[in-house]
Amino acid sequence: MKLVTFADRNQHRLGALVGDGVLDLAAAASGSAPAFASMVALIEAGPDAWDAARALVAEADRKAMRSQTEVSLLAPLPRPTRLRDCSLMLEHMDVVLMQMARRAAAEENDSDAAYERLMASGKYSLNPTFKKQCVYYNADHTSVSGTGVDIVWPSYSDYIDFELEWACVIGRPAHDVGRERAADHIFGYTILNDWSARDVQMPLMYTMNGPGEGKDFPGSWGLGPCIVTPDEIGDPYDLVMTATINGEQWTRGNTGSMYHRFEDAIAQFSREKTILPGEVLGSGTVLGGCGFELGRSLSPGDVVELEVQNIGILRNRVVRAGQFAA
């Protein structure tokens, strides 16, 4: 199933993508259907409810179908139970560290020599901990945005950037789960755009307390356009990932480049504690998956399309407040 949350006549509804339309699951169900009240309700209702949803999708009652032109897709999980952005893709981080060293060296008279000196210092080498375990930080689960909406860039930032990631959504509570059983706890997969105000983020990173406001503003965590259940995703670690800006492809990668996999993260994070249904685990950024790596940045008006094979396209336009009104 490709499950969505959509707005129809000012109501938030749970749906499934069927062909070119959206099936309203609550409308398709006969009688009371509390499990179809929201995405979180469906996830928490468990496997029997998921099978019931599949049956409704297979039947696709025309009376419950909506045209995608008459509804607005929202973030599939408008408010996740929890949102962690993990560093499961490490190639990106090596390049970012080199870029940071080059920017620091650019302030010296002999920038090439300064760059070599900085790289030799080890300060800009990947910390070995990233390979030993799954590292993450808690993201703001109240600042989620969906596809098709404008991302209003904060007034205190001039370096607009995106990050091409994907994510898994937890479906069943996981407590002390072994890696061999971790996949059983994945409800589905979605695309994640980790919007980043680089000029705010970078100075904060040197405080050793994380990116702070550099990744913490309204709509800074893009999710969507849907959540795809594992039975329709194929091999989750062989999916093409692309980032296209104003029709120009900037990035092409693959989910198989993950150093750690979601199963590793679930096994680690569930040690002596419980991961809850509705939690989202981000992958980290694929190699070449942000402007900072590529020496580029976005401008107001740019349209960013992040695509992951078998999931869809997460599309947004970046604007300044008061500009480009729809």
Average pLDDT over residues 224-251: 97
122 confidence band (pLDDT: 50, 70, 90): confident
* Per-residue pLDDT reduced to its tens digit, 307-320: 999 999 999 999 99
Average pLDDT over residues 67-94: 94
Q: What is the pLDDT of residue 324?
A: 54
293 confidence band (pLDDT: 50, 70, 90): very high
**Cis ω before 225 (30° cut-off from 0):** yes
Q: What is the pLDDT of residue 194?
A: 95
- The string over 198-225, giving b where at least 16 C-beta atoms fall within 10 Å of a residue's C-beta and e elsewhere, is bebbbebeeeeeebeebbbbebbbbbbb
Average pLDDT over residues 289-304: 95
Average pLDDT over residues 185-200: 94
- The string over 26-52, giving b where at least 16 C-beta atoms fall within 10 Å of a residue's C-beta and e elsewhere, is bbbbeeebebbbbbbbbbbbeeebbeb
CB 288 within 8 A of CB 295: no
What DSSP character marks residue 276? P
Percent of the chain with pLDDT over 90: 75
Average pLDDT over residues 13-41: 93
Average pLDDT, the chain: 92
205 confidence band (pLDDT: 50, 70, 90): low
96 confidence band (pLDDT: 50, 70, 90): confident
d(CA 53, CA 51) in angstroms, rounded, equals 5
Q: What is the pLDDT of residue 106?
A: 80
Average pLDDT over residues 29-53: 93
* Per-residue pLDDT reduced to its tens digit, 154-164: 999 999 999 99
Q: What is the pLDDT of residue 143?
A: 95
* Per-residue pLDDT reduced to its tens digit, 239-271: 999 999 999 999 999 999 999 999 999 999 999
d(CA 93, CA 85) in angstroms, rounded, equals 14
CB 228 within 8 A of CB 214: no
Q: Which residue has the higher pLDDT, 10 or 194?
A: 194
Left, alpha or beta for 9 (phi > 0: left; psi -120 to 50: alpha)?
left
Q: What is the pLDDT of residue 123?
A: 83
Inter-CA distances, 194 with 145, 268, 319, Å: 11, 23, 16
Average pLDDT over residues 83-89: 97
Q: Which helix (H) or strand (E) holds 128?
A: none
Q: What is the pLDDT of residue 210?
A: 67
Q: Count how many Cα atoms sit within 13 Å of the Cα of residue 108 in the half-sphere of its side chain.
A: 14
Q: What is the pLDDT of residue 199?
A: 86
| Domains present along the chain, CATH in parentheses | 2-73 (2.30.30.230), 82-90+126-320 (3.90.850.10)
Q: Which residue has the higher pLDDT, 268 or 30?
A: 268
Average pLDDT over residues 138-152: 96
Q: Which of 15-19, 115-119, 139-143 has the lowest mean pLDDT?
A: 115-119
Q: What is the pLDDT of residue 204?
A: 62
Other C-beta atoms within 10 Å of 99: how many? 16
Percent of the chain with pLDDT over 70: 96
Average pLDDT over residues 47-60: 95
d(CA 105, CA 115) in angstroms, rounded, equals 5
Q: What is the pLDDT of residue 119?
A: 87
* Per-residue pLDDT reduced to its tens digit, 104-118: 888 888 888 878 888
Q: Count how many Cα atoms sit within 13 Å of the Cα of residue 163 in the half-sphere of its side chain.
A: 26
